Structure 1
Amino acid sequence: MRIDVAVNGGEAELRSLLDWLRRDPAARRGAQVELVQAEPSPGQMGVLTDVLQLVTENAWSAASFALALSTWRQTRPHARRITVRRGDLTVDLDGGDDEELRRLIDALERPAAPDPERDRDRQADGGGR
């Protein structure tokens, strides 16, 4: 599963979150985290922004990730909006309250929508063997 995380506040804030997640034992075990340029939305023009991209493994825990985001956000001198995107699902964290965290966890634990392009590629490769 691939998750993109954007932070309002510029590259320094994103790098701070990257460092935080790389030091978090649960995030280190369950996801590969790197700073990448976001892909533009269809029809979007202009400068691409940086995002953190997480590629998760079997040991992934959405609750641990949400807690790490919330804890990092509390360490910042100014509250930052965090936008988490997985496929077509987007969750914004503005206040970091329990309801927002529950929405994030629910979105991340929800089964991913089928990817018609990936399914088409599998069929072309012999049915996913």
Structure 2
Amino acid sequence: MECRITVGTPDGDGGDPAGLFRWLAQDPDVRSTAQLALMPAQERVGDMGGAFEIINAVVANSLALSGVAIAAASWRETRAPRPTVRIQCAGVVVEVDDDSPETIARITHALSEAARAGARTEPGQDGGAAPDTAPGAPGRRADARPGQR
């Protein structure tokens, strides 16, 4: 399963995706279960270019995805102000709001279900949407915040 991870801050800054990438790459569980790459984001008008803003993570299963979500949530908790971490897999986008077990379980469930649905449905057929492939492309949103669905 291929996922994209982006980082942002309340003031619209790009956050620190390189910092999150280093954190994930140094986590022994993530390093052993995920392939990571730092990718350039889609350039916007006025950008100087060359900025790496998207982390591409390839994981084999929901357990590996859970490890990535836990590590991303832990990294987020070490930053002030807390950046927004978004994980997008199979067209579903979730926000990592905290590192509680409930939040990690909701994130893993939402993304795993989307990946399973994507594997069962051909792109463009009724009953399932094709995964978005362009950086920053809008996708279905699964809110993983505590107390919301």
Query: Once the two structures are aligned, what percentage of the paired residues are identical?
Result: 25
Alignment pair present for 1:6 and 2:6: yes
Which deviations, in whole Å up to 9, do the C-alpha atoms of 1:89-128 show, x marking residues without a partner? 11012344444322211123221413438xxxxxxxxxxx
TM normalised by structure 1 equals: 0.71
Q: Which runs of 5+ in 2 are unaligned?
A: 125-149
Q: Distance in 2 between matches of 1:38 and 1:106?
A: 27
Specify the code of the residue in structure 1 equivalent to 2:24.
Answer: L
Moved over 6 A (4+): none
Give the secondary structure class of the aligned counterpart of 2:16: helix
Specify the code of the residue in structure 1 equivalent to 2:8.
Answer: N
Q: Distance in 2 between matches of 1:107 and 1:59?
A: 10
Which deviations, in whole Å up to 9, do the C-alpha atoms of 1:7-49 show, x marking residues without a partner? 0045561011000010011111111111113469xxxx74697
Match 2:55 to one of 52, 57, 68: 52
Match 2:91 to one of 83, 88, 92: 88
Where is the helix percentage greater, Structure 1 or Structure 2? Answer: 1
Match 2:123 to one of 113, 116, 119: 116
Q: Distance in 2 between matches of 1:115 and 1:31?
A: 25
Q: Distance in 2 between matches of 1:105 and 1:87?
A: 13
Tell me if structure 1 keeps the 8 A contact 2:8–2:15. no
Alignment pair present for 1:30 and 2:33: yes
Specify the code of the residue in structure 2 equivalent to 1:81.
Answer: T
* Residue in structure 2 matched with residue 71 of structure 1 by the alignment: 74
**Superposed CA RMSD:** 2.8
Q: How many residues align?
A: 113
TM normalised by structure 2 equals: 0.62
Q: Which runs of 5+ in 1 are unaligned?
A: 118-129
